[in-house]
Amino acid sequence: MPVDPQRSARSAATGLLVPATTAPRRHGVAFLRGFLRNPGQVGSVWPSSRWLEQRLVQRAGIAQARTVVELGPGTGGTTAAFLQALPASGRLLAVELDPGFHGHLAHTLDDPRLLLELASAERLADLLAARRLPAPEAIVSGIPFSTMPADVADRIAALVAQVLRPGGRFVAYQVRAHVARYTAPHLGPARREWELLNVPPVRVFSWTKPA
């Protein structure tokens, strides 16, 4: 089958173009329903694009990681992209607050490396301990820091910095820049960039925890 580069994503793991037909499915309608249920908590009307997914895979170093955490997997497009790049022996802990999204993920993603939790990111340290997971090399977050109470956002940013392995990476994608303000006291200034090929265009912030 010929590969159309306009409708394809480049795999971070292999560098090959992934045709749209085999690229992870994003379940846009289920996502939109989730947004209508709880707009502030979901923070976006449409799932991340494959271009954003691949930028996150690269920035977080998923292909070199053994333990990865995803905060806010939603309908699982990002989760599927991370699983595509993750080594066979890796683990991906995905923490989702919305029960509808959590049920959707449980029905649509079947991978022994994936550990799903219906919980708030505020419980990150407990969840890692309960699963006996080592400190993650990468944490990727899509949760909207701009709409949650400031004390919750503060706690989550502190927890991320605390549980991340030294030398590990924290990558957050957001329309607004609040996450940088909450994270800077713990991990310093972020590398900042935009992903324009997304609806809407989003900022991508990356940090590396000092070794």
Ligand X SMILES: C[S@@+](CC[C@H](N)C(=O)[O-])C[C@H]1O[C@@H](n2cnc3c(N)ncnc32)[C@H](O)[C@@H]1O
* Residues contributing to the site for ligand X (CB under 6 A): 41-44, 47-48, 71-74, 77-78, 95-98, 101, 120-121, 142-143
Closest approach of ligand X to the CB of residue 23, in Å: 13
Nearer to ligand X, 99 or 189 (CB): 99
How far is residue 209's CA from residue 211's CA, in Å, rounded to a whole number?
6
CB-based contact 95:52 (threshold 8 Å): no
CB of 8: closest distance to ligand X in angstroms? Answer: 19
Residue 12 near residue 54, CB atoms below 8 Å: yes
Among candidate residues 145, 147, 129, 141, the one with its CA nearest the CA of residue 207: 141
Whether 129 and 116 have beta carbons less than 8 Å apart is answered as no
Residue with smaller CB distance to ligand X, 47 or 61: 47
Rg (CA), the chain: 16
The kind and range of the H/E element at 18 are strand 17-18
Name which of 71 and 160 has its Cβ closer to ligand X.
71
Q: Which is nearer to ligand X, 27 or 91 (CB)?
A: 27
The residue (of 71 and 109) whose beta carbon lies closer to ligand X is 71
The nearest distance, CB 99 to ligand X, in angstroms, is 10
Please give the Cα distance from 115 to 210 (Å, whole number): 27
> What minimum distance in Å lies between the beta carbon of 52 and ligand X?
7
Which residues, in sequence order, are bridge partners of residue 113?
Answer: none
Structure tokens belonging to residue 146? 């701009």
Minimum CB–partner distance for residue 104 and ligand X (Å): 10
Give the residue among 92, 17, 93, 24 at the shortest CA–CA distance from 53: 24
Residue 187 near residue 169 (C-beta atoms within 8 A): no
Least distance to ligand X, CB of residue 155, Å: 10
Residue 49 or 67 with smaller CB distance to ligand X: 49
